């Protein structure tokens, strides 16, 4: 069974539909690649997919540990390379709540760094992940 349906809308824009839920989002080519930059670019979705996956896996493990990660934020920075045009680097800066014991922090960080998207990215893509356990969000 298919996961998603992508429709090219023209003008370098696509509509992506998740077939199980029916939810949709739009992608647009970025300004530096002939687009309008009015929505996530395809490479933005890959970069943010890493943070989405890390937070999801951490959430599953946090539930097992009876730890609340609500309000956690992740700032994602994507750096592109040329020739060939590709993602060269993804930086994820996590801002997590205070009051979590050191053992749980270690388990949650390891869980984040072993998420399926992390293992699915090409080895040439540099990944920088920073965890801030101080409760301050970005």
Tell me the C-alpha distance between 38 and 87, whole Å. 19
List, as own/partner pairs, every contact residues 37-40 make where C-beta atoms lie below 8 angstroms and the sequence separation is at least 24, other chains included.
39/13
pLDDT one digit per residue (tens) for the chain, 138 residues: 999 999 999 999 999 999 999 999 999 999 999 999 999 999 999 999 999 999 999 999 999 999 999 999 999 999 999 999 999 999 999 999 999 999 999 999 999 999 999 999 999 999 999 999 986 555
pLDDT score, position 134: 82
Q: Are strands 126-132 and 86-95 parallel, antiparallel or unpaired?
A: parallel
User: Domain residues of the chain, as ranges?
Assistant: 4-33, 42-132
Domain spanning 42-132, CATH architecture: 2-Layer Sandwich (3.30)
Starting from the edge strand earliest in sequence, which strands make up the sheet with 86-95, in order? 73-81, 86-95, 126-132
Q: How far apart are CA 52 and CA 18, in angstroms?
A: 16
Reply yes or no: is the peptide bond before residue 99 cis, omega within 30 of 0. no
CA distance 99 to 30: 40
């Amino acid at each position: 069974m298919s996961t998603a349906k992508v429709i090219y809308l023209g003008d370098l824009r696509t509509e992506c539909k998740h077939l199980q839920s029916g939810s949709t989002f739009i992608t647009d080519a970025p300004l530096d690649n002939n687009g309008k930059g009015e929505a996530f670019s395809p490479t933005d979705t890959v970069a943010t997919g890493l943070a989405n996956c890390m937070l999801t896996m951490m959430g599953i493990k946090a539930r097992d540990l009876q730890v609340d990660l609500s309000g956690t934020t992740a700032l994602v920075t994507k750096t592109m390379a040329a020739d060939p045009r590709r993602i060269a680097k993804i930086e994820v800066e996590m801002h997590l709540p205070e009051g979590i014991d050191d053992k749980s922090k270690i388990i949650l960080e390891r869980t984040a760094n072993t998420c399926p998207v992390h293992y699915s990215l090409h080895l040439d893509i540099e990944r920088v992940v920073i965890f801030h356990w101080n409760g301050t969000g970005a």
